[in-house]
Amino acid sequence: MENVNKNKTWGVSELALLYFPNSTQQGAYAQLKRWINYEPGLKEKLREAGWKPFRKIYTPKQAAILFECFGEP
């Protein structure tokens, strides 16, 4: 995707679907969650940015961490 809005608050499933556009909403969410769980140090970085498990949004700062780690969708 070109020009991802980096100042946007993203819904968790909305962002997951950008990474996994051929998945269902539930499948995309599950896959992004797996990526986050398996990436060393990522959960800690997200927590430092105010993330809590089961929250339904990513703030712009948290999304930027994901973009840095996984690349822009």
Q: Which positions ≥6 away from 15 have C-beta within 8 Å?
A: 32, 58, 63, 66, 73
Q: Please count the residues of the chain.
A: 73
Q: In the numeric block, which tokens belong to residue 7?
A: 């100042």
Residue 39: count of CB within 10 angstroms of its CB: 14
pLDDT digits (tens, 9 = 90+) for 7-26: 899 999 999 999 999 999 99
| pTM summary value | 0.90
Residue that is written with structure tokens 């703030």 in the block? 59
- The confidence score (pLDDT) of residue 2 equals 55
